[in-house]
Structures are given as structure tokens and as C-alpha cells.
Structure 1
Amino acid sequence: MARMSMIEALHSAMDKKLSDDASVLVFGEDVGFFGGVFRCTAGLQEKFGEERVFDTPINESAIVGLAVGMAAQGMRPCVEVQFADYVYPAYDQITQEAARLRHRSNEQFTCPIVVRMPTGGGIFGGQTHSQSPEALFTHVAGLKVVIPSTPYDAKGLLIASIEDPDPVIFLEPKRIYNGPFYGDHSGKSVPWSQHESSEVPEGHYTVPLGKAVVRQPGNDITILAYGTMVYVAEAAAKQAGVDAEIIELRTLLPLDLDTIRHSVEKTGRCIVVHEATRTSGFGAELIAEVQEACFWHLKAPIRRVAGWDAPYPHAQEWDYFPGPERIAAALKLAMEE
């Protein structure tokens, strides 16, 4: 076991798979010589060579299109889109080609690709470096959508994603690349060295796709969260003095409805938290699923706390995020109903 940041854990996952499997390739903008804008691939080109880890032109459609073709011929590309905001030119390749290849070929071909993308805000990157587009991919049959929140899960989920026979959208919350931000205006954080989830095995292991985890047990209310919002939810529950059960989804598609249902049936109350824009965000799907599965157990309406319905506000970034205060207010309101 070693203490790792999420960046180091992701690096370790790619290093391990490149070492173990000659069909694994890593490529994207600046991932080779420079080692990635966030240094997730630092040193991998030097170790494995330019044929296994290489830079590409600034052309997201070509990056993913190349990966789809390679995957159809037996390779396992793990590609990086430098920021999730840049993925839109590649959306056609992801949704029309990668997601459908298994089915349109009557399972003659599969598409074992991973598309890694730093997602969300927290670095004052402005409108084109801070978006959270996960809902655009959870609507697409044939994809898997993964968002880790700890170094341990990040490594295990990435290895599982690379080994999966189908395309995986792997979203990495850059706000917690180097530690869990609680998300208040002071920028208060907890170093990974003080957080048990920073303990990461150095060898091969996997975290199963499609399985949520109870991050914090509780009895009063269920909080459904993923990515950075797991830590914000922890801080909010403490601030509100509520015995909240925090379910970290880890995989949005496929969704672990059994873990969610078990928790909501126990607590009878539920709120959903995500950083992305509120309207048509993934929270709406979560609320629909909980409503259908747990209606007769609910003691209060399901509430959601999310980003504003507005273009990403650079100057008001920390007001845009669901912070502990906003979530704590929603918790107290749900408990009073």
C-alpha cells in the first residue's frame, strides 16, 4: 500500500495496464512528452515508448475515432480528452460509433475504449474548462459512465474500465485531483495523508463498475452524490447536525439502484447533489428512479441541490457550486417535512 493522490493513482493504473497488456495504448493531447496538463501520464512515454504512449493533434474527433478503429481490431486504447469541455467535437464518434459498435455488428466487434476527461470546476478555468457534462453520456445506451472520488477507487475503477469490453466515459473531478475540497469559500481542504482513501495498493486490483458504496452510514436521510460532491455532502451533513447516509454512486451508468433503494427504504428521505446544471442534470434521473422504486417509503419530497441554470460563471465560481451551506439548508428542510 502507498499513499497517493488521485493523479498518482490514475498514473499507477495506466502504468500497470501498459505493463501487463501489450494491447493497451495511451494517447491524447500532450499526454506523451509533456505528461498531460495535470501530469497524470508523466513519464509513461519515456517508460513505454512513443508507439504505446503518444501525442495527438488538437482534434478530439480524430482521437476518439482512432481509438474506435483500434478497438475494433483488438487494441484497448485509453485516451485523454484534455478537459471535458473539449469533448463535444468527439460526441459523434462516442455516441454514434463507440456506443453502437457491439450492437450494430451483431457482436462481431466490441469497443473496449476508455475516454478519460477532467471534469467540473474548482481551478478558476472559466466556461471552457469547468463544465460537468455527465448527463450527456448517461442518456446513451451502450456506454458506461464512471466518476471516482478517491484515489483508491480511481485506480481500481480505471483498471476495470480498461479491462471492460465496452466503451467507458471516465470523468475525473479535477477539483479533488490532489485532495478533497469541501467547497467553501475559504478553499479549506483535507490532505490525502489524513484521509484513509489515500491508501492505494501498488499492484493490480479492480473496483467493480456499476456498484455504489455507502460512504457514510446514517438513518435520517439519504444523500446521493458523486465526485467532488461526496466531500461537500459530508461537510454539509456535519454542519446540519443530520444523521445522513451518503451513497457515493461511483458509476452513473449502469446505476446501482439496489444500494440506493435499500438506503432510501431505511431513511425515508432523500436529497440528490451534483455540480452540473440543475435542469436535465443526472439528478433528475436519480429522483425519477427513487420515486418509482421507493414511493411508499418516502416521508418527504425528494430534493436536489445543483449548479445554476446558467452558463458557467467564472467570477462567481464558488457561488455556483453546491456548497455545504446550500446542502445543509436542503437537509434541514427535508427533515422538517
Structure 2
Amino acid sequence: MARLTYLEAGKLALAEEMRRDPLVWAVGEDLGRGGVFGQYKGLAEEFGSDRISDAPISESCIMGAAVGAAMMGTRPVVEMRFSDFALCAVDELVNQAAKARYMFGGQTRVPLVVREPIGIWRSSAAQHSQSLEAWYAHIPGLVVVTPATPADNRALLKAAIRCDDPVVYMEHKGLWPLEGEVPEAEEVAEIGKARTVREGRDVTIVAWSAAVHTAEAAARSLAGQGVEAEVIDLRTLWPWDREAVLASVERTGRLLVVQEAVSVAGFGAEVAATVAEALHGALKAPVRRLGAPRIPISYAPPLEDRVRVTEEAVAAAARGLTAAAA
């Protein structure tokens, strides 16, 4: 095992895939100087400007060129810097990349990875802090990946690059410095497979991305109070591991879905509805969701903190579910 940060693990995955396959390349703004967060540092020196390609400040141009290059047989990795900025290229991604395989009758595919850093990053305000994963999960033709750990950021990015469909790859900015154990041997994750972070008998907590760590911390706190929470990291939102979630909730009888994104129309609603439809008779308490209120994220730290889903809030919601059914 090697100890790497989340950022380093993603950079390692890209470098390994570029060494393995000469058709893999990356394009975006500021890549030549290492990327805005340093997630490409040193790659231009190894692979040259043809494969670590700096682009003008035009997200729609970057995405459109990459979609065409993917349809011609290469495997572009597109850096959007912030998921908020990727909205400038939503037509190229949603109307072109996502639909090309269907509209051309399977004669072409778009093996494209779009890296979109998501989530709250201190005092980045309303235009640099959003978690928009539910938007892309709604679009037929797109794969949506949300890694929570350094090991997954390596294994899932490798899987995304090898996927023959367009992948929206959403890395949480707040996780860049997170350290964790990463296998030295190559691991390529299975897209659509959840991970059980912690086993428990009393309540199932489902989360993804940075919210996984909040849920895990809450579960540790709950254990000291006699409540054993099972924590599931979805890892990918489309496809998502419906079977793993249903199996867990069938055992515990209770579900709490935790997301950083705005609760209204978030992906947590999909998980909650699926469980309610499939396991209504087996539930010991109503399904519960926790997410941000439907307001812009403030620049001011005290107001920013008001939209965060905290360990304390998760623990309180889980306790409420177990008490209601006692």
C-alpha cells in the first residue's frame, strides 16, 4: 500500500492510463502549469503538450473538440476546473456526447471523461461551490462517478477512462488533501458497484463523495450511543447499486440518505423513492433525506456553514429514525 492524497491518486491514475494507452490525452485550461489545483503537475513534462493540451478559456470549445476527438477514436480527459463552469458546455455534453451512440445507431461511441470538481470549498461562493451531480444522472447516455477516497479516485478514474461511454467524473474539491491507503498494484473499479464503509443493524445511511466521510463520522458517534449504522458509499450515481442499498435497508428497516447538494430534486430523492417503492412493507420508519437548503452558497463562512450537512445533523436524523420505530 502507498499513502497518497486524493489529488495524487487521481494524477497517478491519469498518468498510468496515458502510459498504457497512447490514445488517452487530456485537454483544458491551465493544464500546462499543472491545473488550477495542481492535479496535472508534472504531466506536461512527461507527456508533452500534444497529450497534456492547454486550451483557451472557452468551455464549449473544449468540450466540442473533445467530443469530436472521442468519436474519431481517441480517449480525451476533459478538465472543466469547476462543475459550475461546465454549464457553459452543457449542449456539447448533454445534446451531443450523451446521445451520439443512440442517434448513430451504435456506429459510434464517445469514450470521453469530463472531470468536474464539485462541492463547497471555503469562501468560493455561489458560482464555484455547487454539487450538480443529479443534473447529469438525469441524462440518458451519461455515466456519473463520484469518488470519495484516494483509492477510489485512482481505481474509478481508470475505469472511467476505459469506459466506452461519456463519463461525468465529479471530484470533491474539499477532498484534494485527504490522505488514504492506495494499493500499489493496479486496481480498476467496477462502475456501478457500491462500497459498504461500515456495517450496522439499526439504520442504513447512503451517501457519496465528501458526504461519505460525514456519514462515517456520524456512525462512529452513534455507535457510542448504542445505535449501529450501516454506511454505504454509492461511488457511482449512474449506474447506481440499487441491489446493495435495497439489501441493506431490508436488513435494517430504516434509510437515511445524505448529500451535500441541494435536497430539492437531488439524487437522494431517487434513492429514497426507489427504497420506498420496493420496500414499503419492510420499513420500520419513514425514509429520510438530508441535504442543503435551496439557497445559493454564500461567500461568508458563517452563512456558508449554514448550508453544510454536518456530522451532528446526520447523527440526530439517524437517532430520530431509530427512536420513532422503537
TM-score, normalising length from structure 1?
0.93
2:247 to 238, 252, 262: 262
Give the structure 1 partner of residue 218 of structure 2: 236
Q: For 1:40-79, list aligned pairs within 5 A.
A: 40-79=39-78
SS at match of 1:4: strand
Alpha-carbon distance between aligned partners in 1 of 2:238 and 2:15, rounded to the nearest angstrom: 26
Alpha carbons 1:130, 1:312 under 8 Å: kept: yes
Alpha carbons 1:16, 1:204 under 8 Å: kept: no
Alpha-carbon distance between aligned partners in 1 of 2:183 and 2:31, rounded to the nearest angstrom: 24
Shift of 1:201: 3.0
Alpha-carbon distance between aligned partners in 1 of 2:212 and 2:40, rounded to the nearest angstrom: 26
Give the structure 2 partner of residue 304 of structure 1: 289
SS at match of 2:285: coil
SS at match of 2:45: helix
SS at match of 2:289: strand
Shift of 1:112: 0.2
Paired amino acid for 2:31:
V
Alpha carbons 2:263, 2:291 under 8 Å: kept: yes
Shift of 1:126: 1.0
TM-score, normalising length from structure 2?
0.96
Shift of 1:123: 2.6
Deviations 1:29-61 (A, max 9, x none): 1112x1011111111111101101011111111
Give the structure 1 partner of residue 192 of structure 2: 210
SS at match of 2:170: strand
Paired amino acid for 1:289:
T
Alpha-carbon distance between aligned partners in 1 of 2:309 and 2:4, rounded to the nearest angstrom: 27
SS at match of 1:40: coil
Count of residues in Structure 1 that have an aligned counterpart in Structure 2:
319
Alpha-carbon distance between aligned partners in 1 of 2:176 and 2:267, rounded to the nearest angstrom: 22
SS at match of 1:334: helix
Shift of 1:200: 1.5
Shift of 1:91: 0.8
Shift of 1:77: 0.2
Give the structure 2 partner of residue 335 of structure 1: 322
Deviations 1:282-303 (A, max 9, x none): 1111111111122121010001
Q: Does 1:247 align with 2:236?
A: no
Alpha carbons 1:12, 1:202 under 8 Å: kept: no
Alpha-carbon distance between aligned partners in 1 of 2:250 and 2:298, rounded to the nearest angstrom: 37
Give the structure 2 partner of residue 225 of structure 1: 207
* Unaligned stretches of 5+ residues in structure 1: 180-191, 193-197
Report sequence identity in percent.
Answer: 43
Give the structure 2 partner of residue 290 of structure 1: 275
* Unaligned stretches of 5+ residues in structure 2: none
Give the structure 1 partner of residue 310 of structure 2: 323
Shift of 1:84: 0.8
Alpha carbons 2:27, 2:79 under 8 Å: kept: yes
Give the structure 2 partner of residue 91 of structure 1: 90
Give the structure 2 partner of residue 30 of structure 1: 30
CA RMSD of the aligned region, Å?
Answer: 1.0
Shift of 1:202: 4.0
Alpha-carbon distance between aligned partners in 2 of 1:208 and 1:124, rounded to the nearest angstrom: 35
- Range 312-321 or range 160-169, more displaced: 312-321
Deviations 1:278-330 (A, max 9, x none): 11111111111111122121010001110111111222122211001111111
